[in-house]
Amino acid sequence: MTEEKFEQVADNLVVAIDYVLTVDGEEIDSSKEEGPLEYLHGFSNIIPGLEKELLGMKVNDSKHVDVAPEEGYGLVDEEAILSVPIEEFPEDVPLEPGIELEITDNEGEMMFATIVKIGKKNVKLDTNHPLAGKVLHFDVSVVGIRAASAEELDHGHVHYGHEHNH
């Protein structure tokens, strides 16, 4: 029985990509250190604008993809800029504009926030994704395509270290 060869990126396949992400002329992320990124195609594991451009690419294909904010990390949402009383901040938090914090919202969800401005009584926090409103420039190449396991399809994402306990 020959193993099925997958020629091109399609839904329900695990795709491995090498990429460099540039924003505002600055390289901010790449797969150089961690090695190729594996994701399950068709399950929104990666940002939509990149996923749709990868559809149909073959192994060793490369392309440059520009992703508009609407298909990346979204537009800047003014409502995501919060004013928080200064006394709610722990004393060890440096209160300076540009400092990035991890905060917990009322539901206990972790979220990132950047200090925008310090007032006398309140601190203005921006909880938009740091890349909201930005055009994302990807140089991406497909380095591998494989079948997804039933479990990966069931869970909707790649499982690493394919140990199977029998």
Give long-range contacts, CB 8 A cutoff, 24+ apart: 48-51.
48/72, 49/136, 50/136, 50/138, 50/140
Domains 13-73+133-155 and 78-126 alike in fold? no
Q: What is the assigned CATH class of domain 78-126?
A: mainly beta
Q: Mind listing the pLDDT tens digit of every residue in the chain (166 residues)?
A: 555 678 999 999 999 999 999 999 999 999 999 999 999 999 999 999 999 999 999 999 999 999 999 999 999 999 999 999 999 888 888 899 999 998 887 888 888 899 999 999 999 999 999 899 999 999 999 999 999 999 999 999 998 765 444 4
- Report domain extents, the chain: 13-73+133-155, 78-126
Pick the CATH number of 13-73+133-155 from 3.30.70.260, 3.20.20.70, 3.60.9.10, 3.10.50.40: 3.10.50.40
Six-digit token pair at 80? Answer: 């995501």
Q: Which of 40, 43, 66 has its CA nearest to residue 140?
A: 66
